[in-house]
Chain A
C-alpha cells in the first residue's frame, strides 16, 4: 500500500454533530460508546456522526441489529443527497432474510443471520471496509446499533471482547467508531465492563425535562453536563 499523503493523521471533527470541545479533534482509531436511556437520541446521534462524515466525502459503515439495510440506505440518501452510493456499507444483522433488496443500489449491503453471528458480522464489516477502501475512502466512520440487542444474544464477556476487537480493527483502518447501548437495559456492572472496551463515552440523560449530554474519556477531565 502506498500512502503518499498522511491521511490517517487527519483528525475527525464530531463537534459539528454534538457541540463539545472534546469532540472537535478526535484521533483516527477512536471508538466511542454512546450510552443513554431509551429514546434519548443515542441512535440518531450515531447516525448523524456518520452522515456528517459522508457529507465530508468520508466512508460510512452501519452495523444494525434493528433496521432493515434498505431503510438505512434510504435514510442516508434522503439526509445526505450528495452521497455517492459507494460511500456507504450496511451490515444488517436482524436475521430477516426476506429478500427483495437485490434491486437496492450500489450501496453495499450484507446480511447476517443473527446478531449473535459474530463471524458473519466480521465478514460483513471486512467487505464493507474493503469496498470503501477500493473506492478511495481512506477516512470513515462506523456505527454499531445497538450493543443492547447483541447483549440479548450473547453474554457480556463476548460483547466486551467483540468491542475490543472491533476497536482494534477500526484503529488499524484509521476509522472512528460509535457504538450505542441502552443504559436502562443493563445492570451497572455490565455497563462498567463494556465501557472499558472504549476510548471514550458520550452519555445522555433526561434531567428536569431536558435532554443533556456529556463526554468522558477523551480529555483528562470529563465535560460538564450540557443541555441539548
Chain B
C-alpha cells in the first residue's frame, strides 16, 4: 500500500522538462513518482504503482524492453506508452494498455490515466463478482432448495451479486471499445498464475 490513498503514477521519461510538466499536471490528483530511464523505472516499480507512463525512446533500456520486464514480473500495473510519433503498428499486440503521442495535452493525460485506473477497478470488481458467484454455487451445492429459501445469507448473496453485475455493466462503458476489451483480457492472462 502507498502512504496515501491516492493512486500512484510512475513517469519514466528521460527529458526532465517533459517529466516535470507531466508531474505538474498530475500531482493534484495522484501520487507521482519519476524515473529518468528504464533501469530507474524498474527500480521504482512495486505493487503500489497503478499506472506507468513509459517513454518509448530512451537511452539505455527502451520502453519496449521495460514493458517486457514489467510483464515478466507480473505486476498489476497498467502501462501507457508515450511516443513521439503515432505508432504504425498494432499497439494492442505489443502489450501496452494505451498510448499517448507527443505533444501531450493535460486533458489527454488525465483521460488516459483515469481510463487505465478504471480498468484496474473493473478487474477488481470482476474478481469480487467471481468470488460471490462461486460462493453462491457452493451454497447451492450444499443445501436443499428449501434450505436456500430459508437462508438470509443466500438472499443477501443474490442481492450483492445483482448489484455487482450492474456495477460491472456500467464500468468501462460495458467494455465498449477494443482497447478496453483486449486490455481486460490481458489482465486475466497476467493474473492467471496468482
Contacts and interface: CB of A to CB of B under 8 A. Distances in A.
Interface of A: 116-119, 121-123, 126, 130, 154-155, 157-158, 160-162, 164-165, 168-169, 171-172, 188-189, 192-193, 196-197
Interface of B: 90, 92-93, 126-127, 129-130, 133-134, 136-138, 140-141, 161, 168-169, 173-176, 178, 181-182, 184-186, 188-189, 192
A15 B130 CA distance: 32
A173 to B, nearest CB: 9
21 contacts: A118-B185, A118-B188, A121-B185, A123-B92, A123-B93, A126-B178, A130-B178, A157-B134, A158-B192, A165-B175, A165-B188, A168-B169, A168-B175, A169-B175, A171-B174, A171-B175, A172-B174, A188-B141, A189-B134, A192-B141, A193-B137
A126 B176 CA distance: 12
Contacts, number: 78
Query: From DSSP, what is the main secondary structure of chain A's interface residues?
Result: helix
Contact of A193 (B92, B133, B182, B192): B133
Contacts of B161: 196
A193 B130 CA distance: 8
Contact of B182 (A126, A158, A171, A172): A126
Given A119-B186, A160-B133, 19 more contacts: A118-B186, A119-B185, A126-B92, A126-B178, A126-B181, A155-B192, A162-B185, A165-B188, A168-B168, A168-B169, A172-B173, A172-B175, A172-B176, A189-B138, A192-B140, A193-B133, A193-B134, A196-B161, A197-B133
B137 A196 contact: yes
A1 to B, nearest CB: 11
A160 B134 CA distance: 10
Contacts of A162: 185, 188
A122 B185 contact: yes
A190 to B, nearest CB: 8
Contacts of A169: 175, 181
Query: From DSSP, what is the main secondary structure of chain B's interface residues?
Result: helix
B135 to A, nearest CB: 10
A168 B133 CA distance: 17
Contacts of B184: 165
B137 A122 contact: no
B176 A189 contact: no
Which 8 A-B pairs give the minimum distances between C-beta atoms? A192-B137, A122-B185, A168-B175, A172-B176, A196-B133, A119-B186, A118-B185, A126-B178
Contact of B129 (A119, A155, A164, A192): A164
Nearest to B169: A168
Contacts of B141: 188-189, 192
Given A123-B182, A172-B173, A164 B168 contact: yes
B164 to A, nearest CB: 11
A119 B178 contact: no
Contacts of A161: 126-127, 130, 188
Contacts of A171: 169, 174-175
Which residue, A117, A161, A162, A189, has most C-beta atoms of chain B within 10 A?
A161
B174 to A, nearest CB: 5
A6 B93 CA distance: 33
Nearest to B131: A157
A158 B137 CA distance: 16
Which residue, A118, A119, A123, A188, has most C-beta atoms of chain B within 10 A?
A119
A117 B185 CA distance: 9
A122 B178 CA distance: 9
A126 B185 CA distance: 12
A47 B130 CA distance: 29
A126 B129 CA distance: 25
